[in-house]
């Protein structure tokens, strides 16, 4: 089991998760400008994009190993991967609750929601076209939402859940739905339908 956790880069993922929450405590409302597709140019809070880093590391860990060999192993690898993803989400939520209680940083709540939603999105794309394209998509998602997901008044569109307020029930619901669907797909099987970026022998 220890080897399996190391193979999935769990220590690196845990360190990255702790690091992004420490950054969330420090940067708070720091934002980067993002040109808008339509309407006024928007901003993307640093805390709204931080969740990409641990998710991409976890996605890389899930993609390691020989999927053909793991599929015929006695253990059910899909369930273990799904359990790892659920554990990641629970730790992200627990860290956000701790940061909010100790330092009153609502940005940590949106960070937790985005970690969960980014992971769900990555797992869905991974099941279709492999982990390489999934990592690219999840990294581009918050930038795409910031560029095209704002109304003329500046508020976030309903579909642009990474930009929603920390206590938005709609944003939390969308992220939870994506995560549940992604976990179901990763529990069902580890091989994508199509993987254009896969290494061929």
Segment 120-131 shows an average pLDDT of 94
CA–CA separation, 101 and 142 (whole Å): 26
Task: List the single range of 61-70, 75-84, 131-140 with lowest mean pLDDT.
Answer: 61-70
In the predicted structure, residue 146 carries a pLDDT above the cut 80: yes
Measured over the CA atoms of residue 123, residue 174, residue 42 and residue 37, the dihedral's sign is positive
What mean pLDDT is predicted for residues 83-93?
97
- Amino acid 67: pLDDT: 52
pLDDT tens for 14-38 read 999 999 999 999 988 899 988 887 6
The mean pLDDT value of the chain amounts to 88
- The proportion of the chain whose per-residue pLDDT surpasses 70, expressed as a percent, equals 90
Residue 188: per-residue pLDDT:
84
Give the residue among 179, 162, 28, 40 at the shortest CA–CA distance from 100: 28
Tell me if 144 sits within 8 A of 129, measured CB to CB: no
pLDDT in tens, 40-58: 667 899 999 999 999 999 9
Q: What is the distance between the terminal CA atoms of the chain, rounded to a whole angstrom?
A: 28
Give residue 197's pLDDT band: very low, low, confident or very high (50, 70, 90).
confident
What are the DSSP E strand ranges found in the chain?
Answer: 31-34, 42-45
**Model confidence at 199, in pLDDT bands (50, 70, 90)?**
low
- pLDDT-based confidence at residue 201 (cuts at 50, 70, 90): very low
pTM over 0.85, yes/no: yes
Per 3-state DSSP, the chain is made up of helix, strand and coil in percentages (nearest 5) of 65, 5, 30
């Amino acid at each position: 089991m220890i080897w399996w956790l190391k193979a999935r880069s769990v220590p690196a993922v845990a360190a990255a998760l702790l690091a992004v929450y420490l950054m969330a405590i420090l940067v708070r409302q720091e934002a980067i400008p993002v040109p808008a597709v339509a309407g006024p140019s928007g901003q993307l809070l640093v805390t709204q994009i931080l969740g990409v880093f641990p998710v991409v590391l976890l996605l890389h860990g899930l993609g390691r190993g020989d999927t053909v060999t793991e599929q015929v192993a006695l253990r059910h690898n899909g369930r273990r991967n799904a359990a790892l993803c659920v554990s990641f989400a629970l730790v992200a939520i627990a860290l956000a609750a701790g940061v909010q209680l100790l330092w009153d940083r609502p940005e940590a709540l949106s960070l937790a929601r985005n970690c969960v939603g980014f992971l769900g999105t990555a797992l869905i794309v991974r099941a279709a076209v492999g982990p390489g394209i999934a990592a690219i998509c999840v990294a581009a998602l918050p930038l795409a939402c910031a560029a095209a997901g704002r109304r003329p008044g500046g508020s976030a569109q309903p579909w642009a859940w990474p930009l929603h307020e920390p206590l938005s029930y709609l944003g939390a619901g969308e992220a939870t739905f994506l995560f549940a669907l992604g976990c179901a797909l990763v529990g069902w099987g580890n091989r994508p339908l199509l993987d254009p970026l896969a290494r061929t022998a």
